[in-house]
Amino acid sequence: MTLERNILLAFLAGAALLPFAVSDQYILHLAIMALFYAVLASSLNLVVGYVGEFSLGHTAFLGTGAYTAALLSTQAGMPMWVTIPLAGLVSAVFGFAIGAITLRLQGPYFVIVTLSFAEVLRIVANNWIAVTNGPMGLAGVGQNLFGDVAVTDKAGFFLIVLGIAAVALYLSYRFVYSNAGRAAVAVRENRYVAQSIGVDPFGTAMQAFVLGAFLAGLAGGFYAHYISFVGPEVFRFAFMATMIIMVLLGGKGTLIGPLAGAVIVTVLEEYLREMQELRLTLFGLIVMAIVLFLPNGLMGFIAQRREQQAARPPLNAAKERTV
């Protein structure tokens, strides 16, 4: 717990120094995307890793946040410090409504029904031309932070997304180590035992789901301003697949895992870009290899190695303990 907290703090502190050390715009762009994905992956991890249900509809909240921020900015001309938190709140409201319906289901049914919600939203965004401008999307989302103060360079955007990531990690940390977080883990491990000691599975799952939706909405709001364009593709399954791969590669149910996964996948995708069409083909193969050979993700692998090393030197002592 303290180790996890210290690593997260060290990561954030190291990241805060990055824009002062690096002036290469391309590397800063990569760092921005890595942190954006880190927020998304952390928010998905709250549902997948702590509630233990596999949501394939997380893009619903990313997209809702992105459209909210884009609409507030283009229609009402609101600055970023208003639109991004509002994007989070609107997504949280959607999370509450969708969670109230979907969290009653479990297993493959939950998977399909969350996916259905994301698809419905994508089709609505594609066809409700009066509001969302259909497949043309909303272009020219403003980049002003307060009033007329505009963010003009990548370093500015980097600090904003770093702030969002810090908020996301802080909230996740507080949730995971609160009573609600521990109750959620109890439900994940054994639903009936948790119920028998008075944990309400639906209520705890709902808290994690709404928090996840809120954080995904913040990420979506940031994405709208950074790219300055939002189209129906924010709901697409490709985003979802990237998020899942990050969470599972890093290791679900840990706070560091999604962060590590986001950085690795962003860099890997960029590195493979040089190979053009082969890129996604290889990406698919890598995903399959991860599932087969690293089933608990990198964090699971590291934890396993540490356990093995801790068990090795006093071999006799370890044997006695297990007897």
Cβ 173 to another protein, closest distance in Å? 24
**CB contact set of 162 (below 8 Å; sequence gap of 6+):** 12, 15, 16, 35
Cβ 292 to another protein, closest distance in Å? 6
Tell me the β-bridge partners of 229: 139
Q: Which is nearer to another protein, 167 or 294 (by Cβ)?
A: 294
> Position of tokens 């760092």?
31
Q: Which is nearer to another protein, 104 or 174 (by Cβ)?
A: 104
Query: What is the CB neighbour count within 10 angstroms for residue 82?
Result: 15
Cβ 207 to another protein, closest distance in Å? 22
Tell me the β-bridge partners of 139: 229
Binding site for another protein (CB under 8 A): 48, 54, 56, 101, 104-113, 115-117, 119-120, 123-124, 126-127, 237, 241, 244-245, 248, 277-281, 283-288, 290-292, 295
Strand, coil or helix: 146: strand
The token duo for 227 is: 């790219």
Cβ 90 to another protein, closest distance in Å? 20
Q: Which is nearer to another protein, 19 or 231 (by Cβ)?
A: 231
The Cα 14–Cα 138 span in angstroms is 35
Q: Which is nearer to another protein, 149 or 282 (by Cβ)?
A: 282
Tell me the β-bridge partners of 144: 150
Q: Which is nearer to another protein, 50 or 158 (by Cβ)?
A: 50
Look at residues 78, 287, 290, 255 and name the one whose alpha carbon lies nearest to residue 181.
255
Cβ 45 to another protein, closest distance in Å? 13
Strand, coil or helix: 144: strand
Q: Which is nearer to another protein, 84 or 115 (by Cβ)?
A: 115
Cβ 309 to another protein, closest distance in Å? 26
Look at residues 266, 246, 267 and name the one whose alpha carbon lies nearest to residue 258.
246
- Contact assessment for residue 258 and residue 246, using Cβ atoms and an 8 Å cutoff: yes
Looking at the chain, the number of H-run helices and the number of E-run strands are 15, 4
Rounded to the nearest 10 degrees, how much is the dihedral formed by the CA atoms of 76, 141, 94, 207? -110
Cβ 265 to another protein, closest distance in Å? 13
Q: Which is nearer to another protein, 286 or 303 (by Cβ)?
A: 286
